[in-house]
Amino acid sequence: MATTPGGNREPLAFHRYGRRPYKPVFEAMKAFTDARDETTPDQCWLLEHEPVFTQGQAGRAEHVLAPGDIPVVQVDRGGQVTYHGPGQLMVYPLIDLARRRLGVREFVTLLESLTVATLARWGIEAAPRRDAPGVYVEGRKVASLGLRVRRGRAYHGLAINVDMDLAPFQRINPCGYAGMPVTRLSDLTSEPVTLDGVAEVVEQELCYRLSEKC
């Protein structure tokens, strides 16, 4: 439950779903967003996926270089192609932006800032880039971001590379950028880092930021 500084409460339910294949989660996000109304509490789903490449609405086939045995799924978020797999934390904030009086650009900035703050807990200095949505450490992408907003309600979200196999990124032009270097938290810190540990911090940071907008 997110709480405003003044004490008002805006429902925000977190759900951790473990490892799931991509397509059923994608369909569930769409179904939740289509079925919700102005009284439906917001949710945030945290999980990891089986290996998959997802191609956004603006995606171009030439950015999928050699998918091999990893499926490619067309999706309705913005952006180009990216990879999801075990060891990557998926953060799906299913948020009624209109009810919280949040613009899309403002929400993107919020998600980038919470990612930067999350990485800072492990002593990692990261920053977003205006020309390439996501969060970077010394030019290497550590988190991807893509959204769809329907009737003022957002779905899709963040992918944070925690401790995953980065090799599949070589089979694509990540987010449409040839040769885009990628990295993961486990290579950026000497401290122990787990999916559950990162998920816990993400929950705290999301609650803190949304509480100011409830």
**pLDDT per residue as tens digits for the range 133-181:** 899 999 999 999 999 999 999 999 999 999 999 999 999 988 888 888 9
Residue 140 counted as an annotated binding residue: no
pLDDT for residue 60: 81
The average pLDDT across 58-67 equals: 86
Q: What is the pLDDT of residue 1?
A: 44
Contact between 53 and 70 under an 8 Å Cβ cutoff? The reply is yes
- DSSP for residue 201: H
Going from N- to C-terminal start, the domains of the chain cover 2-211
186 known member of a binding site: no
With bands split at pLDDT 50, 70 and 90, how would you rate the model's confidence at 108?
A: very high
Residue with tokens 């290497």: 140
In this prediction, residue 9 has a pLDDT band, given cuts at 50, 70 and 90, of low
Count Cβ neighbours within 10 Å for each residue of 26-39 and write b for 16 or more, e otherwise.
bebbbebbeebeee
* Residues that are catalytic: 175
Q: Tell whether 92 is in a known binding site.
A: no
For residue 58, the model assigns a pLDDT of 78
144 among annotated binding-site residues: yes
Rounded CA separation 22/77 (Å): 14
Q: Against a cut of 0.85, is the pTM above it?
A: yes
The answer to whether 158 is a known ligand-binding residue is yes
The tokens describing 208, both together, are 């803190």
Quote the pLDDT of residue 119.
98
Q: What is the pLDDT of residue 6?
A: 36
Q: Give the residue, 82 or 5, on which the prediction is more confident.
A: 82
Which pLDDT band holds residue 2 (cuts at 50, 70, 90)? Answer: very low
Full DSSP string of 154-176: EEEEEEEESS---GGGGGB-GGG
Give 10-56 pLDDT, tens digit per residue: 679 999 999 999 999 999 999 999 999 999 999 999 999 999 999 98
Residue 3 pLDDT more than 60? no
If DSSP states are collapsed to H, E and C, what string results for 8-65?
CEECEEEEEEEEECHHHHHHHHHHHHHHCCCCCCEEEEEEEECCEEEECCCCCHHHEC
Q: Architecture of 2-211 per CATH?
A: 2-Layer Sandwich (3.30)
